[in-house]
A and B are shown apart, each in its own frame.
Chain A
Amino acid sequence: MESKDSRAELTPLNLVEGDIVERVRRLELFSRFRVEGLISGNNKSPFRGFTADFLQHRQYFRGDSLKYLDWRVFGKREKLYIKEYEELTNTTVSVIMDVSNSMSFRGSGRLSKFDFCVRCAALVFYMAFLHKDSFSLTCFNTGVVQRIPAGNSKKHLHRILRALVGQNAGGATDFFLGLKEAAAPIKRKGLTVVFSDFMEEAEDIVRVIARLRLEGSDVIAMHVFDPAESTLDFLSITRFFDLESPEMLTIDPLLVRREYEHEFEAHKLAMRKACLHHGFDHTALSVENEYEVPLMEYVRHRMELCS
């Protein structure tokens, strides 16, 4: 359920402010794979250049410019090798956010899953803005609800933040259609961050996301969940309403608590396995009041891995 209070105080300005800005400033959201950027940046480009970062030696072929010959190797071995360097470029950070009604669930905390996602996405956008990466936003439920194309200006950042603030969770979820439509415009290799609670079969979801990976994008599946929904912490018989459909279930939570928790953990694990299997990253973000903590921990961890 969406928190009206948390939504009411949310503005594009206070989405990213205070000490969080300083803490985020030291973080970088790398793509683990080579991305196609327009300007130089911090991400590895698929295009080789002649910058400071040595990449490899390769055999000289006729027509290659002689200025890239490694003469030292020729002097030692009398063979011609071309010395290649890695090119660094900026990237496009595409945030795909699930805005279905299930994301509006709020447990005992201050933030709903959607609020949590909005704040995390804002941080991601801000980090991209700081590193001159382009960033875009696509919201989906059963289809694309809102799309803001990539850009890297401050104005663009404000536009996206306004869009985030103005977006509400609602409707059902159709991961196949929604994600497919949301991922369709992403043609260039970049970094795609998917915020969702992934309440669907893990294989079905990952199969859609995997298409992005196949196209060369690095994908991060941000699996958002509320600690309250990971357990059935009810003592009496309860009628559970589905947020996305008129369906309801009446059960004695005590009877299925253990199985439910097991299923919940199994679902997260299945998502993780599927993501890793398809070569992209997966992280489970627990909705907490200090929303930046889990995200920043993940980014820090990712930085360590990339370095």
Chain B
Amino acid sequence: MHFLAPTFFAAFCALAAIPLIIYLIFRRRKRNVPWGAMFILRRTLDKHSRVKVWKQYAIIAVRTLAFLALPLAFMWPYLRWKPPTDGSFPPPPSSTHRLIILDVSPSMDAVYARGTCMDAAWSLCRKALAAGVFPGRLDILPMDGTETPFVFDRFPANHAAIESFLGQIGRNSTPANLETALRYALRTFRASHEKNKELYVFSDFGAKDVRDLNVLAGLFRSFRRQGARIFFLSYENPQLNNFAVLDFTAQMDLLLQGQPTMFYAVLGYFGAQPVAETWLTINNQDGETLYEEVLSLAPGEKTVTIPLTLKGKERMLTASVKKDDFSNDNAIQRGYRVSDSLRLLVIQGINLKSGFENPKEWLELVFAAPGEKSSLSPLQVSSESKPESSQSTKLGGRYQVHVDFASAVQINPAQFEDTDGIILLDVDSLSEAQVDALRLYVLRGGTVLLAPGPQTAPDKFNATFLPITPIGLEAPAQKEIDPDRYENAILEKTSDLMLKEIETPQHGNIGNARFYNYYRVDANKMAKGAEILFTLSNEAPLLFYRPLGRGACLLWTAGLGMDWNSMVVHPVFPVFFSRLFNIAAARRKFALNLAPGAPIIYRLAQGAGKETVIRRPDGRRVTLQAELVGGAWFARYDDTLMPGMYRLQPDPADESDFLTYTVREDKHESDYRPITKEQQQALEQASGARFCLSERDMFESVGAVYTGRPLASWLACALFFLLLLEAGLARRWFA
């Protein structure tokens, strides 16, 4: 309760009334004295009465004031603290440890007043430093989870010192982590020797930043137990509109030239309106617009599917939405490799069948160029493939498919080197060296599709492919095929959107294909890490997936020929292989679009220099020394926590030749919608502080806990002088 609060005022009035009442009572209960010298008394009053009346009132007033001054002096009152009129930060009492938890996350770049939230926060930090008082200390702790405080204790601080100090504090692209910062602040305060402790939190208090309210409330209670005062300054602005491109991906970084590819743009709208309109634009690195669409978005996230056919020159795609109040997340860039060729190796066991009874024939049709052998392929790939020979044709802007057919006994492991994927058709036995070569191929990123057919002996197969197969085979499910009994394929849970596509009608709908027979497996004996991608309608597994190293091994249990299924005559068949080996080809390459912290790995060309250069998003240039691994030279760069574009120059001297890697920003910050009022109240209750929405508000809050100039000494002096005055007026001492 403040000294000048209404309650105190009432008490003040009551106290003031006491001497008046006493005076009035005594005036009524005065002594009666018969007086002989009334003539003198009357004459005295006649001469001095007017002065005396005022003097009497003055004495009553003086006595009243003195009466009040005495208890008030013991109440140790203070003047009300007034905020500085020039808008500067309230100077603290001496020996005050101020700790500012500063939100440096990207969401602080949202528009605020005439600048951004971060501009306002920097300005406030400057003011806090300028207002510092010796002895005292001010720590600025970025709310980025790094627990790296910046300590300033050389007060008073001049302009140069302040700028130098603030210059050390960098921005951070990681999400705000209030809990970590509070824990560190708590430890700092515990070790602090300063008498007063003040904790300031400058943040936009996004709902996603305040994860566990109970934990935060407990921490704030700990601060209060330490006697720390807590002040929140929220830069929230519920009226802001933010359109964000949260993600833009094609599921892989290697795309096939001329191949229609589905891109997935995850857009977000975070604002106050129920529906907001924006537009999505996809540009390539030359600024050429590849796609444009007007969208109406409700608050939240929405995934937009964008079919794009890349022509081969695109290396960098930018997805962007309309400019808004938070421009950091309006665009997102992704780097891609657009390959003009796909090289496959088909290895077949002994199969005496010919024509369409041989699954190789169907694969030839899938990868054949249009007009050459068949027009079954929706890819319109023109390729003349001949068994056991390499054929390739390049048509227009479309990619080429190089298919090498080989028998199991003719496998040369050297062939695996440049192969994007290997299909083993009805192969149930290979030499141990060949299997080892296959395994090494998979470990280095290759993809092997095991497709045992009716001629495969499960026992031999299991014995041969145990090191790579996801699971061992058992006997076929049906001894005799009944055309009226068939199953359909169902995609199991998978995060791979490209595989999901083949369930859709426009991509063939794999669910329409009929499966009459398949190899049974014991699903309980799957290799570690293996999973089922497709099952049949009777829940029998159809396609297994086993990751091995950087690559993967797939097991197709229903054979690729037309013996056990109708898939080969189904439109989904070429699409399925296109998707599958697109993924396989991408897996063999090192990623261009990375998560923060993921390493940049680049395989140097044969005969190239052993030094490469990385240019970081912050402009720094880092020289990398290549390392020899598995017979090849690799450059590796691990410091990729900073989101943005990293340009790798294979030749340090040639700046025109570079490869662009992008490190994804955490779009967590895009949703800067503030915490709810209930959450605010819970924090306020736990911390005993008030959420301030402006600097002025916060200064008032700071001032509310500060006391102004102490009045006790003044009251004591006033009391002394009042007593002197009263004695003088009443002629006690001077009479």
A residues near B (Cβ < 8 Å) are 1, 102-105, 113, 197, 199-200, 225-226, 229-230, 232, 234, 236-245, 247-252, 254-260, 263-264, 267
Contacts and interface: CB of A to CB of B under 8 A. Distances in A.
B26 A236 contact: yes
Given A236-B31, A237-B27, A243-B34, A255 B52 contact: yes
Contacts of B59: 252, 255
Interface in B36-76: 36-45, 47-48, 52, 55-56, 59
A249 B38 contact: yes
Contacts of B729: 255
A102 B41 CA distance: 13
Nearest to A242: B38
Given A1-B34, A238-B31, A240-B33, A257 B735 contact: yes
Interface in B708-735: 729-732, 735
B731 A254 contact: yes
B38 A243 contact: yes
Contacts of B44: 256, 259-260, 263
A83 to B, nearest CB: 54
23 contacts: A1-B34, A102-B36, A102-B38, A104-B36, A229-B35, A230-B37, A232-B41, A236-B31, A237-B26, A237-B27, A237-B31, A240-B33, A241-B33, A242-B38, A243-B34, A243-B35, A245-B38, A254-B730, A254-B735, A256-B45, A256-B52, A259-B47, A263-B44
Nearest to B23: A237
Given A237-B26, A242-B35, A267 B731 contact: no
A113 B36 contact: yes
Nearest to A226: B36
Contacts of B30: 236-239, 250
A242 B59 CA distance: 27
Interface of B: 26-27, 30-45, 47-48, 52, 55-56, 59, 729-732, 735
Given A199-B38, A252-B59, 19 more contacts: A1-B34, A197-B36, A234-B33, A238-B32, A240-B35, A241-B33, A242-B35, A248-B32, A251-B41, A251-B45, A255-B59, A256-B45, A256-B48, A256-B52, A257-B735, A258-B735, A259-B47, A264-B37, A264-B40
Contacts of A258: 731, 735
Contacts of A1: 34
B27 A255 contact: no
Contact of B38 (A104, A234, A247): A247
A239 B31 contact: yes
- In the complex, the 9 A-B pairs of residues with the closest C-beta atoms, listed nearest first: A105-B36, A199-B39, A240-B35, A242-B38, A229-B37, A254-B730, A237-B30, A102-B36, A263-B44
A161 to B, nearest CB: 25
A234 B55 CA distance: 18
A239 B33 contact: yes
A-side interface mostly:
mixed
Contact of A252 (B38, B42, B48, B56): B56
B735 to A, nearest CB: 5
A197 B37 CA distance: 8
Given A1-B34, A255-B55, A255-B56, A200 B39 contact: yes
B37 A239 contact: no
A263 B40 contact: yes
Nearest to A268: B40
A173 to B, nearest CB: 9
Contacts of B731: 254-255, 257-258
A237 B38 CA distance: 16
A249 B26 contact: no
A241 B36 contact: no
A193 B43 CA distance: 27
B31 A234 contact: yes
A83 B451 CA distance: 187
B728 to A, nearest CB: 11
A256 B43 CA distance: 11
Contacts of A103: 36
Contacts of B26: 236-237
Nearest to A114: B36
B222 to A, nearest CB: 61
A239 B38 CA distance: 11
Question: Which interface residue of B40, B47, B48 has the most chain A CB atoms within 10 A?
Answer: B40
A35 B510 CA distance: 164
Given A249-B45, A251-B45, A256-B48, A267 B40 contact: yes
A234 B38 CA distance: 15
Question: Which interface residue of B31, B35, B729, B732 has the most chain A CB atoms within 10 A?
Answer: B35
A236 B32 CA distance: 11
Given A255-B56, A259-B48, A241 B40 contact: no
A200 B37 CA distance: 10
Given A255-B59, A256-B48, A257-B735, A241 B39 contact: no
B55 to A, nearest CB: 6
A232 B40 CA distance: 11
B47 A241 contact: no
Contacts of A242: 35, 38
A28 B696 CA distance: 98
A252 B48 CA distance: 13
Contacts of A247: 38, 42
Contacts of A199: 36-40
A44 B30 CA distance: 57
Contacts of B39: 199-200, 267
Contacts of A237: 26-27, 30-31
Nearest to B729: A255
A239 B36 contact: no
Contacts of B36: 102-105, 113, 197, 199, 226, 229, 243
Contacts of A249: 38, 41-42, 45
Contacts of A230: 37
Nearest to A100: B36
Contact of A240 (B38, B47, B48, B56): B38
B531 to A, nearest CB: 104
A45 B26 CA distance: 63
Nearest to A251: B45
A230 B30 CA distance: 21
A263 B41 CA distance: 8
Nearest to B27: A237
A279 to B, nearest CB: 25
Contacts of A241: 32-35
A234 to B, nearest CB: 7
Contacts of A225: 37
A241 to B, nearest CB: 5
A236 B29 CA distance: 10
A105 B56 contact: no
Nearest to A262: B44
Nearest to A238: B31
A197 B729 CA distance: 31
Contact of B41 (A104, A245, A254, A260): A260
A110 B729 CA distance: 34
A21 B29 CA distance: 49
A243 B38 CA distance: 8
Contacts of A200: 39
Nearest to B53: A255
A238 B48 contact: no
A238 B37 contact: no
A236 B37 CA distance: 18
Contacts of B45: 249, 251, 256
B32 A239 contact: yes
Nearest to A106: B36
Nearest to B32: A239
A214 B732 CA distance: 47
